[in-house]
Chain A
Amino acid sequence: MSAPATTDTATVTRAEYCAIACAEIFTGAGEIMASPMATLPLIGARLARLTTEPDLLVTDGEALLLDETPALGSVGSIEGWMPFRRVFDVVASGRRHVVMGANQLDRYGNQNLSAFGPLQQPKRQMFGVRGAPGNTINHATSYWVGKHTARVFCDEVDVVCGIGYDKVDPGNPAFRYFALPRVVTNLGVFDFEGPDHTMRARTLHPGVTAADVAENTSFEIAELESAGVTREPTEHELHLIRDVLDPKNRRDREVAL
Chain B
Amino acid sequence: MTLDDVIGELRSGMTIGIGGWGSRRKPMVLVRALVRSDITDLTVVSYGGPDLGLLCSAGKVRKAYYGFVSLDSPPFYDPWFAHARTTGAIVAREMDEGMVKCGLEAAAARLPFLPTRAGLGSDVLTFWEGELKTIASPYPAADGRTETLVAMPALDLDAALVHLDLGDRRGNAAYTGVDPYFDDLFCAAAQRRYVTVDRLVDTEELVKTVPLQNLLLNRMMVDGVVEAPDGAHFTFAGEYGRDEAFQRHYAESAKDPQAWQQFVDTYLSGTEDDYRAAVRAFAKEKQA
Contact = CB atoms under 8 A, between A and B. Distances in A.
A134 B70 contact: no
A129 B123 contact: yes
Interface range for A: 35 or more
Given A83-B178, A125-B82, A127-B76, A169 B118 contact: no
B96 A131 contact: yes
- Most chain B CB inside 10 Å of its own CB: which residue of A91, A92, A172, A177: A172
Given A84-B21, A130-B97, 12 more contacts: A88-B98, A114-B94, A125-B85, A127-B69, A127-B76, A128-B48, A130-B96, A131-B97, A133-B124, A134-B98, A134-B117, A174-B120
Contacts of A121: 85-88
Interface stretch (B36-44, B145-153, B192-200, B242-250): B145-153
Contacts of A124: 82, 86
B122 A129 contact: yes
B91 interface: yes
Interface of A: 62-64, 81, 83-85, 88, 91-92, 114-115, 117, 119-134, 136-138, 159-163, 167-169, 171-175, 177-178
Contacts of B48: 128
Contacts of B96: 129-134
A137 B91 CA distance: 26
30 contacts: A64-B178, A83-B178, A83-B180, A85-B181, A88-B98, A119-B92, A119-B94, A121-B86, A121-B87, A123-B86, A125-B81, A127-B69, A128-B68, A129-B67, A129-B96, A129-B122, A130-B67, A130-B68, A131-B96, A133-B99, A133-B120, A137-B121, A138-B118, A163-B120, A163-B122, A167-B121, A168-B121, A169-B120, A172-B120, A173-B143
Contacts of A120: 88, 91-92
Interface in B113-142: 116-124, 126-127, 141
Contacts of B70: 127
Interface in B7-23: 21
B147 A160 contact: no
Nearest to A131: B97
Interface in B100-124: 101, 116-124
Given A83-B178, A84-B179, A133-B96, A125 B86 contact: yes
Nearest to A161: B122
B95 interface: yes
Contacts of A88: 97-98, 101
- Most chain B CB inside 10 Å of its own CB: which residue of A64, A81, A88: A88
Contacts of A83: 178-181
A177 B121 CA distance: 13
B77 interface: yes
A93 to B, nearest CB: 11
Contacts of A161: 122-123
Nearest to A170: B145
Contacts of B81: 125
Contacts of A129: 67-68, 94-96, 122-124
B186 interface: no
Contact of A62 (B85, B146, B178): B178
A63 B238 CA distance: 13
Contacts of B87: 121
Nearest to B89: A121
Contact of A173 (B67, B147, B180, B182): B147
B66 interface: yes
Contacts of B94: 114, 119, 128-129
A133 B180 contact: no
Interface string B237-266: 000000000000000000000000000000
A83 B48 CA distance: 17
B86 A122 contact: yes
A174 B86 contact: no
A87 B147 CA distance: 24
A177 B118 CA distance: 12
Interface in B147-180: 147-149, 178-180
User: Ordered nearest first, which 6 A-B pairs have the shortest CB separation?
Assistant: A134-B118, A167-B121, A125-B82, A121-B88, A163-B121, A133-B122
